[in-house]
Amino acid sequence: MRGLLAVLGGAIIALLAACSPLKLVDGLTPSDSYRLTAGIAYGSDPRQQLDIYQPLKPLPEHPVVVFFYGGTWNSGSRQQYRFVGEALASRGILTVVADYRLYPQVRYPDFLKDNAAALAWTWRHIAGYGGNLERLFVMGHSSGAYNASMLALDPRWLAAEGLSPTILHGWIGLAGPYDFLPIENPQAKPVFFSPHEPPDSQPIHHLSAQAPPALLIAANSDNLVNPRRNTWQLATRLREQGVPVQDFYYNRINHITLVGSLARPLRWLAPVLPDIVQFVSRPSTP
């Protein structure tokens, strides 16, 4: 039986590799486990919009996660990540999935300004949707995890909105690039003005003891973002600063199926969703 399950699992993973797993899981994502408010503008550009996934489970206030997707800062849309909103909302987490401007419309650091504006909008308005501002988190996958880390670690971006990273109860990075100079990915090179990349563009250079607690998750077999150089190194450096960190590394997932494992059909791949729920639900530090 174990041999048969291994064969079936391998066949499913091969199928996911041959097609777009995110499009596949979106088509299988239920729509009856959350309340959706879509297309809220947090800025004047058409790309500056967000969707809110409210849990159906009644609570006085829900923890809040603001999610930024990946795509090498070149591609992506919030509508492709309904499975993320559904996964978290079905666990009682009010979820905001935000679009932001991409290359070639903008380069670094303008997309971070959008991310900060989306987080600031959430801070100012999410209580009206049942959100608990004392349990506010920012989360991202791949380049979106980079964006989340910069909001959490580098105070410049939220300062432009009159805020600081102290508004965050924590942040979550899924397969994020946190130390990637010199840039090897050809899609990312023009985004960061390669070969003249700004040194202060790297999250690894913005660590302090005041950083919010972090949950970092990576795939051991990630061929796009090296998990040791990025996730392991960042976790180690944060711990040296005395920052609470949880980091997990899984074998049965890759760079894409890591975030895909949040979707109902793929949750058997790795316990990424339980990891996130546990982190978001942990007791506050006195």
pLDDT of residue 25: 66
Report CA 82 to chain centroid distance, whole Å. Answer: 13
Going by pLDDT thresholds of 50, 70 and 90, the confidence category of residue 11 is: very low
| Distance separating alpha carbons of residues 31 and 48, to the nearest angstrom | 24
Going by pLDDT thresholds of 50, 70 and 90, the confidence category of residue 283 is: confident
Q: pLDDT (tens digit, 9 = 90+) per residue, 210-267?
A: 999 999 999 999 999 999 999 999 999 999 999 999 999 999 999 999 999 999 999 9
Domain boundaries, the chain: 20-281
pLDDT of residue 21: 57
Residue 118 contacts residue 42 (beta carbons within 8 Å) = yes
Q: How far is CA 243 from CA 89, 105, 152, 170, 208, in A?
A: 28, 36, 12, 10, 8
Among 43-52, 54-63, 78-87, 103-112, the range scoring the smallest mean pLDDT is 54-63
pLDDT of residue 17: 46
Two tokens, residue 66: 């603001």
Two tokens, residue 103: 């290359």
pLDDT of residue 9 exceeding 80: no
Going by pLDDT thresholds of 50, 70 and 90, the confidence category of residue 63 is: very high
Q: pLDDT (tens digit, 9 = 90+) per residue, 159-209?
A: 999 999 999 999 999 999 999 999 999 999 999 999 999 999 999 999 999
Instruction: Strand 94-98: give its sheet, edge to edge.
Output: 34-41, 49-55, 94-98, 62-68, 131-141, 170-174, 214-219, 245-250
Two tokens, residue 126: 């999410």
Mean pLDDT of 23-37: 77
Mean pLDDT of 5-17: 45
Alpha helices in the chain (DSSP H): 2-18, 21-27, 82-89, 110-125, 143-153, 156-159, 233-240, 255-260, 272-281
The correct CATH number of 20-281 out of 3.40.50.10950, 3.40.50.1820, 3.40.630.30, 3.30.470.10 is 3.40.50.1820
Two tokens, residue 253: 């997932």
More confident residue, 63 or 25: 63
Angle between helices 82-89 and 272-281 (to 10 degrees): 50
Going by pLDDT thresholds of 50, 70 and 90, the confidence category of residue 23 is: low
* Cis peptide upstream of residue 271 (ω within 30 degrees of 0): no
CA angle 42-284-157, nearest 5°?
30
Q: List % helix, strand, coil for the chain (3-state, nearest 5).
A: 40, 20, 40
Q: pLDDT (tens digit, 9 = 90+) per residue, 65-109?
A: 999 999 999 999 999 999 999 999 999 999 999 999 999 999 999
pLDDT of residue 32: 79
pLDDT of residue 13: 47
Going by pLDDT thresholds of 50, 70 and 90, the confidence category of residue 59 is: confident
pLDDT of residue 284 exceeding 90: no
Two tokens, residue 64: 């809040």
pLDDT of residue 10: 46
pLDDT of residue 19 exceeding 70: no
pLDDT of residue 142: 98
Q: How far is CA 125 from CA 77, 121, 130, in A?
A: 22, 6, 10
Taken in order 221, 222, 226, 228, the sign of the CA dihedral is negative
